[in-house]
């Protein structure tokens, strides 16, 4: 096979032949495995810039692949693109927090950045010393000595004037910044006084509070327990069998439109998991699963699409729409704003920003937030547009 032929050429050190063959065969088949070998051959040929473009394109298609991330980062570092390498590595560290190789590459990237700074400092020092030597040489000239020294003095005066103007501008900018900060503080103090006097009403207290859930550097905090507090008269829709405790004043309403959508597969252990609506007044609800995560959809994104088995709960303000995909599974589209609760089956939930086209393997996909277009292939999702994707890692 061509794939193994290219691998052997790389192992035998016939890099030029490997590059040529991989490029030729990829143009015919568009097989990502061949494109990856093309990137490896370019890297071996020390064409690090081209290699980083290849690995970058592949990584954007397969963000769940650790080896692609490592190859992409190495190529960026060797090509001298250290800022981009550091950004990619830090992003990857959130997806693969236990990878020692990522930590080592990040350390190497920072070490090279420090080396560059030191070299830059040495170069500036040499240039500065060169200027001083030039002035000293001028002073030693016998012909036209007086005129040249006079010119040097004039240059020094101009430079001093420029430095003085710079200092004045910086002082003016700093003064203006402090004045603006002072105005902001005064406005805040004034607003607080008006609140006390009753002229500005306090912000209405949030009716639905999810405790023990937060997002940190893209990772949704997971837990086996999620506590929900329904204040005033508020409602939430939840899967019945995840509820382990309810207290306070509340009513339960079966949902005819949703309750017929039953899941009988290994994912839920063959149980039926229908939704119910809870209307509570100062009510406390406790959910349990391994693991629960939650997020909020705001007016900027306007909707979320969740793979049906992962959806545990949502606010009734959402418009619910279920779509069957190739008779194998279903996607739930929630249009609107509010809180969404998901179940990630013993995995961490990671939210990743996307802008453009990407591909996610089906086992890693949980859902998407925002106006993204999803197209399901036989083992992955093709996603295009701007928004966020939720992954299991």
Mean pLDDT value across the chain? 76
HSE of 159, CA atoms in CB hemisphere, 13 A: 6
**Cβ contact 387:369 at 8 Å:** yes
pLDDT of residue 95: 80
pLDDT band at 178 (very low <50, low <70, confident <90, very high): low
Please say if the pLDDT value at position 97 is more than 90.
no
User: What phi and psi values does residue 205 have, to the nearest 5 degrees?
Assistant: -65, 135
Mean pLDDT of all residues in 144-160: 51
The C-alpha atoms of residue 17 and residue 161 are separated, in whole angstroms, by 62
The C-alpha atoms of residue 250 and residue 368 are separated, in whole angstroms, by 32
| The two three-digit tokens of residue 120, written as one number | 């830059």
Q: Return the minimum-mean-pLDDT range out of 167-176, 281-290, 302-311.
A: 167-176
Return the SS3 of 243.
Answer: strand
Q: Return the minimum-mean-pLDDT range out of 139-143, 191-195, 286-290.
A: 139-143
What domains lie within the chain, and their CATH numbers?
208-392 (3.60.160.10)
* Residues 342-371: tens digit of each pLDDT: 887 777 778 888 888 888 887 788 889 988
pLDDT of residue 146: 42
The C-alpha atoms of residue 368 and residue 391 are separated, in whole angstroms, by 9
| CA angle, 267 then 335 then 289, to 5° | 30
* Residues 55-65: tens digit of each pLDDT: 999 998 888 88
DSSP bridge partners of 320: 334
Return the SS3 of 32.
Answer: helix
Mean pLDDT of all residues in 38-47: 93
The C-alpha atoms of residue 42 and residue 60 are separated, in whole angstroms, by 19
Please say if the pLDDT value at position 138 is more than 60.
no
pTM for this entry: 0.46
pLDDT of residue 19: 93
**Cβ contact 238:316 at 8 Å:** no
Closest CA to 278 of 312, 246, 232: 246
pLDDT of residue 181: 61
Share of the chain above pLDDT 70, in %: 69
**Cβ contact 336:297 at 8 Å:** yes
pLDDT of residue 144: 42
DSSP 259-326: HT----SGGGTT----EEEEEEEEEEEEEEEEEEEEEEE-TTT-EEEEEGGGEEEE-TTSEEEEEEET
pLDDT of residue 15: 93
pLDDT of residue 70: 92
| CA angle, 391 then 392 then 393, to 5° | 110
The C-alpha atoms of residue 24 and residue 34 are separated, in whole angstroms, by 10
Please say if the pLDDT value at position 297 is more than 60.
yes
């Amino acid at each position: 096979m061509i794939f193994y032929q290219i691998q052997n050429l790389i192992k035998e050190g016939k890099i030029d032949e490997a590059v040529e063959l991989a490029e030729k065969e990829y143009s015919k088949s568009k097989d990502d495995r061949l494109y990856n070998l093309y990137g490896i051959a370019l890297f071996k040929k020390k064409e690090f810039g081209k290699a980083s473009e290849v690995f970058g394109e592949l990584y954007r298609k397969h963000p769940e692949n650790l080896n692609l991330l490592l190859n992409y980062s190495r190529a960026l570092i060797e090509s001298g693109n250290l800022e981009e390498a550091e950004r990619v590595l830090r992003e990857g560290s959130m997806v693969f927090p236990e990878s020692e190789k990522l930590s080592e590459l990040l350390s190497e990237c920072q070490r090279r950045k420090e080396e560059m700074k030191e070299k830059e400092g040495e170069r500036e020092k040499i240039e500065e010393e060169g200027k001083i030597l030039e002035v000293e040489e001028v002073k030693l000239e016998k012909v036209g000595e007086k005129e040249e020294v006079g010119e040097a003095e004039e240059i020094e005066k101009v430079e001093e004037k420029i430095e003085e103007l710079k200092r004045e501008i910086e002082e003016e900018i700093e003064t203006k910044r402090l004045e603006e900060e002072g105005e902001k503080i005064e406005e805040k103090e004034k607003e607080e006084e008006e609140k006390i006097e009753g002229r500005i009403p306090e912000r209405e207290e949030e009716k639905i509070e999810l405790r023990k859930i937060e997002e940190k550097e893209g990772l949704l905090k997971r837990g086996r327990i999620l506590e929900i507090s329904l204040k005033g008269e508020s409602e939430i829709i939840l899967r019945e069998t995840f509820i382990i405790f309810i207290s306070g004043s509340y009513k339960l309403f079966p949902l005819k439109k949703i309750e017929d959508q039953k899941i009988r597969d290994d994912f839920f252990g063959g149980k039926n998991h229908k939704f119910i609506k809870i209307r509570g007044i100062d009510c406390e609800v406790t959910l349990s699963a391994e693991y629960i995560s939650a997020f909020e959809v705001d007016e900027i994104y306007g909707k979320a699409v969740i793979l049906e088995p992962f959806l545990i709960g949502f606010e009734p303000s959402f418009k619910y729409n279920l779509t069957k995909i190739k008779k194998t599974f279903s996607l739930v589209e929630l249009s609107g704003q509010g809180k969404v609760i998901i179940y990630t089956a013993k995995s961490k939930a990671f939210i990743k920003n996307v802008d453009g086209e990407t591909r996610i393997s089906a086992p890693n996909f949980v859902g998407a937030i925002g106006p993204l277009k999803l197209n399901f292939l036989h083992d992955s999702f093709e996603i295009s547009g701007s928004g966020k994707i939720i992954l299991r890692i």
